[in-house]
Structure 1
Amino acid sequence: MTTASSAFPAADAPLAGRVAVVTGASKGIGAAIARRLARDGAAVVVNYASSEAAAVAVVQEIEAAGGRAVAVRADIADPAGAGGLFDAASEAFGGVDILVNNAGIMALAPIVATDDALFERQVATNIGGVFRGMREAARRLRDGGRIISFSSSVVGLYQPTYGLYAATKAAVEAMTHVLAKELGPREISVSAVAPGPVATDLFLSGKSDEQVAAIAKLNPFGRLGTPEDIANVVAFLAGPDGGWVSGQVIRANGGVI
């Protein structure tokens, strides 16, 4: 774990005084979310599973801008992962107000070619990790908090090779709808973001320029999303303007469906 900066955000920042845990925050969308929430005033727990150097770099960037952050290693597929993240947040910042369940894995294969090991790995991370994060948040999040999980726009596209991945994200949406009703009396909003194709290393890896261009043309804007596009949606849900939005799945995909 890194040490937290002594600098504090402006008192009028929309998330001043709030604490956010962002899973899978060392790279890509998760890193953009961590930077954006810190810019809005939140103290941020930057979770990583293996990319320590990248997570520390995100923390250093946040601290250099006057924010507060710590990097915390935890594998969300591990049953102890969620509890460890909340423990670290409480130790560093005194509690948690916002959980962003961003971490996940995407391993594609036709259903006929999906072996049990691949099934178990995706279910453990994409469903088990999110479930345990939600459960820990339900127990320990301060009243008036936010839980924001990640689905995917592929849930509604039914593309070949995406069967298992889409199924895990559909489970996230179902849990989101139920938990929103369970936590409403505590004024905790629970929603999900379902991105379309986003220009991250994970998405671009193994694709030709022609494939990327073809995918970009699937939405009316004619471009891939950026990590910042998605972070902006998360910031809205996490901030005061998103307080009346709960039990929703926001398909941030440029209009692809």
Structure 2
Amino acid sequence: MNGLLESKKALVTGGSRGIGREIVLEYARAGASVVTCGRHSSEALTSLSRELKDVGGQHRVLIADVTHAEEVDHLVDECRATLGGLDILVHNAGVNSRVPFPELLLEEWQRIMDTNLGAAYTVTQRALPLLSAGGSVVFVGSRVATVGLPMGAHYTASKAGLVGLARSLAKELGPRGLRVNVLAPGPMESDAPMPPEARQRFEHGVALRRLGRASDVAGVAIFLASDLAAFVSGETINVDGGV
């Protein structure tokens, strides 16, 4: 435990795996009390609960679909009951798919938008009364927001929307002492197998010649949540190894 987030209270959506899981665990190790959620009951959520118990502290792992306002309300109510308030809000819940634009159905466009962008609106608005002055809101976006992604117009648009949302909220909520920023990961390692030629192509496009790890993103998430970033707001920080 490095103490950077000692006594801080955090809500992290989409914490069951990948980047979200790493942020949850690193926040807990840094001294924060964390409430997090996953969309469905899963072994990943169960194992996360076990890991948080090993870390120690006051944490809650819940099931909540953040695309449904009533489930967001339940999530925020749990934060109020368990933590009493919030210093940190991380919207990490997200989904992705690859679909050629001519074949992109409205239902799939809306599914991606509802989770990646719509839920950021809902969670932030509902959690706002719990956020205290000096608090930090972090949206987990994507590097593709500014470079584009073939067969990913819907995903790219949703992540680009987070940038505009963050910049506007930074101006609106700044007088309340709240900071709002975007974390934009580049090509990342994942649990899914990747063909060697695809890996080589991605790595060749990164200055550091490797894919990112969840821990790379979590480290910057700790910075943005901590007092070290007390004068950082409205920014998008690319964590992409130099794409």
Name structure 1 gaps, 5 residues minimum. 1-8
Q: Is the 8 A contact 2:33 2:83 kept in 1?
A: yes
Equivalent residue pairs, number = 243
Name structure 2 gaps, 5 residues minimum. none
Match of 1:152 in 2: 142
Q: Relative to structure 1, is the Cα distance of residues 35 and 73 closer, same or farther in structure 2, using a 3 angstrom cutoff?
A: same
Match of 2:44 in 1: 54
Q: Deviation string for 1:40-90 (max 9, x for gaps)? A: 110011211114321231122122122331111110111223222111111
Q: Are residues 1:23 and 2:13 paired?
A: yes
1:123 CA drift (Å): 1.2
Alignment of 1:83-98 (within 5 A): 83-98=73-88
1:180 to 170, 180, 185: 170
Match of 1:5 in 2: none
Match of 2:183 in 1: 193
Q: Deviation string for 1:214-253 (max 9, x for gaps)? A: 1122111000000000000100000110111000000110
Q: Are residues 1:226 and 2:213 paired?
A: yes
Task: Name the structure with the higher strand share.
Answer: 2
TM-score, normalised by the number of residues in structure 2: 0.95
Q: Give the letter for the 2:18 counterpart.
A: G
RMSD: 1.5
Q: Give the letter for the 2:182 counterpart.
A: A
TM-score, normalised by the number of residues in structure 1: 0.90
Match of 1:118 in 2: 108
Q: Is the 8 A contact 1:86 1:95 kept in 2?
A: no
1:242 to 223, 229, 237: 229
- Counting aligned pairs with the same residue, the percent is 33
Q: Are residues 1:168 and 2:168 paired?
A: no
1:78 to 68, 78, 81: 68
Q: Is the 8 A contact 1:46 1:59 kept in 2?
A: no
Give the match's secondary structure for 1:106.
coil
Give the match's secondary structure for 1:251.
strand
Q: Give the letter for the 1:18 counterpart.
A: K
1:131 to 121, 143, 152: 121
Q: Is the 8 A contact 2:80 2:130 kept in 1?
A: no
1:66 to 33, 50, 56: 56
Q: Give the letter for the 1:146 counterpart.
A: S
Q: Give the letter for the 2:224 counterpart.
A: L
CA distance in 2, matches of 1:47, 1:139: 20
Q: Is the 8 A contact 1:46 1:55 kept in 2?
A: no
